[in-house]
Amino acid sequence: MSPTRLPTLPASRLVDVGGATVQYVASGTTRPTIVLINGAGGPLVGWSRVFGPLLRFGAVVAWNRPGIDRSTRATEPQTGALIVGSLRDLLAAIDARPPFVLVGHSLGGLYANLFARLLPDEVAGVVLVEAAHPDDRTMASLQPGWQRGLNAVLGIGNPFRRDRAFDETRWVDRTCRQLADAGPFPEVPLAVVSGARHPPARLMPEAAADIREANQEALVALSPISRHFRTAGSGHFPQLTEPTVVVEAVKWVVERVRLDDPAEPEGGTPPREFSPITSRA
C-alpha cells in the first residue's frame, strides 16, 4: 500500500444531533460497537487504515465533531461533557447500542476517558491511542519560546480568536475539571497505545518527553485489566503509521469483553437517556 494512499471508508452520512448536523460513518452489525473518537481537529478519514480491519471484531462507528469537514460549525463551547453528550446522542440516533468499546486518539482519548466515567454502564472497554492525559498540560511551559509564539499567531490557546472561540482546544482546562469531578474510571479492559518516537528535542525537550511517558504509564494504571502497546516506529499517529498495533490493541480489549459479556437479552439493550453536563466550571 502506498504510504500516501488511504483505504476508502464507507460512504459518510449526516444526522442532526442536538441542533447540529454531524457527519459519521458506520458499518457492521455484530457486537460490540467500536466507537472511534478523533483527536483535536482530526477528520474521521484518519481512521481509514484501521476501520476495515476492525470490522472483524464488531460494528464500527466514526464521526466528525462540530467544526470538522461536513459537520456544522460549533456554536457553543466544546467542553468534554458536551462532546460526550453529543456522541451519546449520535449513537442513540443511529441505533448503536451499548455497551461500547471506545477508541480515542490524542484529545479524543480524554473524551473516551470522560465518557467511561460518566457512563460506566455503557462502556465495555477502552483503547487509548497516543491519548491525552490531564497532566500533559504541564508540558506547555517547557515549549521553546518560538513554538509558543507560533501557537499564539495560529490562535492555539488564544480564547480571544472569535473565529475559533468555541473550539475544543480552548476548553481543555474545563474538560480536565469535568474529568476530575466525574466518577472513577470503570474496571473494564483498557489498552494504551503509545508511540515510541518522540518529536525532535527542538520541538519536545527531554523533560517534556519524560512527562509524556509518565502520563502514558498513568493511563495504563487506570484499570487493573490493562495492557500497554508500544509502537516501534510511530509518533503521534500510530493508526496511520502502524495500524496493525492499534488493531491488535482493540482485538485484545474485545476478546476480554467477550469473555465477561453475558448473553444479550431478547431485542437487545435499549439505549439509555443521557443529559450532558454543559456548564460545570
User: Which tens digits make up the pLDDT trace of 88-115?
Assistant: 999 999 999 999 999 999 999 999 999 9
User: Which tens digits make up the pLDDT trace of 216-265?
Assistant: 999 999 999 999 999 988 888 899 999 999 999 999 999 999 877 654 44
Give the β-pairing of 190-195 and 226-231: parallel
pLDDT score of 204: 62
Alpha helices in 119-205 (DSSP H): 145-154, 172-181
Instruction: Please classify residue 142 by burial: count the beta carbons closer than 10 Å to its beta carbon, then call 0-12 exposed, 13-18 middle and 19+ buried.
Output: middle
User: Would you give the distance in Å from CA 256 to the centre of its chain?
Assistant: 20
Mean pLDDT of the chain: 82
N-term to C-term CA, the chain: 47
Instruction: Please classify residue 190 by burial: count the beta carbons closer than 10 Å to its beta carbon, then call 0-12 exposed, 13-18 middle and 19+ buried.
Output: buried
pLDDT score of 196: 77
Q: How far apart are CA 130 and CA 132, in angstroms?
A: 7
pLDDT score of 161: 43
192 forms beta bridges with 128, 228
Q: How far apart are CA 93 and CA 124, in angstroms?
A: 20
Local structure of residue 111 (DSSP, 8 states)? H
Instruction: Please classify residue 47 by burial: count the beta carbons closer than 10 Å to its beta carbon, then call 0-12 exposed, 13-18 middle and 19+ buried.
Output: buried
Residues 6+ apart with CB under 8 A from 210: none
How many Cβ atoms sit within 10 Å of the Cβ of residue 157?
A: 13
**138 near 144, Cβ under 8 Å?**
no
**137 near 173, Cβ under 8 Å?**
yes
**Rg (Cα) of the chain, in Å, rounded?**
18
Give this prediction's pTM.
0.83
pLDDT above 60 for 159 = no
pLDDT above 90 for 213 = no
User: Which tens digits make up the pLDDT trace of 10-35?
Assistant: 999 999 987 889 999 999 989 999 99
Nearest Cα to Cα of residue 90 among 107, 109, 66: 66
pLDDT above 50 for 36 = yes
Local structure of residue 140 (DSSP, 8 states)? G
Q: How many CA atoms lie within 13 A of 21 on its CB side?
A: 7
pLDDT above 50 for 41 = yes
pLDDT score of 275: 42
Peptide bond into 32 cis (omega under 30): yes
CATH number of 13-258: 3.40.50.1820
Please state which of the ranges 19-23, 182-186, 190-194 shows the lowest mean pLDDT.
19-23
Cell of 219: 493511563
